[in-house]
Amino acid sequence: MSAIRIGAVEYLNARPLVYGLDERTDLFALRFDVPAKCAALLHEGAIDLGLIPSIEYLKGSNYFIVPDMAVTSQGPVASVALFTSRPTTAIRSVAVDSSSRTATALLHLLCARWFDIEPKFVTMQPDLSAMLKRCDAALLIGDIALFTDHESQGLDKIDLGEEWTAMTSLPFVWAFWAGKAKAVGLAQLAALRTARDRGVLALDAIASQYCAHDAEREAVARQYLHENVTYEFGEQARAGLRKFFDAAHDLRIVPSAGHLRFY
């Protein structure tokens, strides 16, 4: 079987899912991009399988999901957050990270059903200072959100994973592997499971390598990988994903709630 083209999110939280895959050149040609780019490449057919933001699954045509693995959180996720110096009820405008898809959809949902606000959304590059000069709050994702020292800047950090679980009592599914029906074979599926299993056992090594020569960031990364994100995709996570899709459809964020299809 020839190697397939796969695209992974470049952030820390994806590294346990791709642990060692760069060595499997017989099965995969691997590239890294921001979440929005991963989704765009899959939609364009430039890659065969993508670690895509969960909301992007609904924008594809007959995508299937690799079972039993995803980037999920139960409670605080730490790497998807709204930064502001204002009370939530006083937020009238939000600058959203242009790299984001799922987080932006989730924030729309939380504003409508949890925060009870209707702010204007402005898409910007992920530059916290510039975002807060223009808007009352800034939505950041990934490494920038994780490693930003908000307290030193006098900002509150509203964790979207925490807010989702408080509202629903369910996990949130941020990203998963998806592709067309015949994009992957049994060998690739087995290799993806092995990578995830090995990655989960190597969280400290991943944090150390990812944050080389920066002990402070490494400590944050270790805590994050151990406490904030998980890589299972069980029944509770599936229930959380279905609830997210249904709510996004109800609010007309997406045209359809879709169906979960697995390889």
d(CA 64, CA 46): 17
Instruction: Quick: pLDDT tens for 23-80.
Output: 999 999 999 999 889 999 999 999 999 999 999 999 877 899 999 999 999 999 999 9
What tokens were used for 4?
């397939």
Q: Which whole-number Å values give the CA distances from 161 to 107, 114, 172, 188, 243, in the listed order?
A: 10, 13, 7, 30, 14
The region of weakest confidence among 21-25, 195-199, 220-224 is: 21-25
How buried is 83 (Cβ within 10 angstroms: 0-12 exposed, 13-18 middle, 19+ buried)? buried
What tokens were used for 44?
């364009």
What tokens were used for 53?
């933001």
Are the C-beta atoms of residues 204 and 12 closer than 8 Å to each other?
Answer: no
How buried is 129 (Cβ within 10 angstroms: 0-12 exposed, 13-18 middle, 19+ buried)? exposed
Name all domains of the chain by residue range, CATH numbers in brackets: 4-72+173-213+231-250 (3.40.190.10), 80-168 (3.40.190.10)
Cα dihedral sign for 23, 28, 30, 36?
A: negative
Q: What is the pLDDT of residue 1?
A: 60
Amino acid at 204: D
Instruction: Quick: pLDDT tens for 94-130.
Output: 999 998 889 999 999 999 999 999 999 999 999 999 9
Nearest by Cα to 217 from 69, 31, 78, 62: 78
For residue 18, pLDDT over 80 is answered with yes
Query: Which residues make Cβ contacts (< 8 Å) with residue 108, sequence separation at least 6?
Result: 121, 248, 251, 253
For residue 240, pLDDT over 70 is answered with yes
Q: What is the pLDDT of residue 85?
A: 96
Report, as an integer, the average pLDDT of 7-20.
Answer: 96
Rounded to the nearest 10 degrees, how much is the dihedral formed by the CA atoms of 98, 14, 146, 244? Answer: 60
Amino acid at 143: D
Residue 170: alpha-carbon gap to chain centroid: 16
Q: What is the pLDDT of residue 63?
A: 95
Helix H or strand E segment including 52: strand 49-53
The answer to pTM > 0.75 is: yes
Cα dihedral sign for 52, 53, 59, 64?
A: positive
| 3 state SS for 87-150 | CHHHCCEEEEECCCCHHHHHHHHHHHHHHCCCCEEEEECCCHHHHHHHCCEEEEEHHHHHHCCC
Report, as an integer, the average pLDDT of 136-156.
Answer: 96
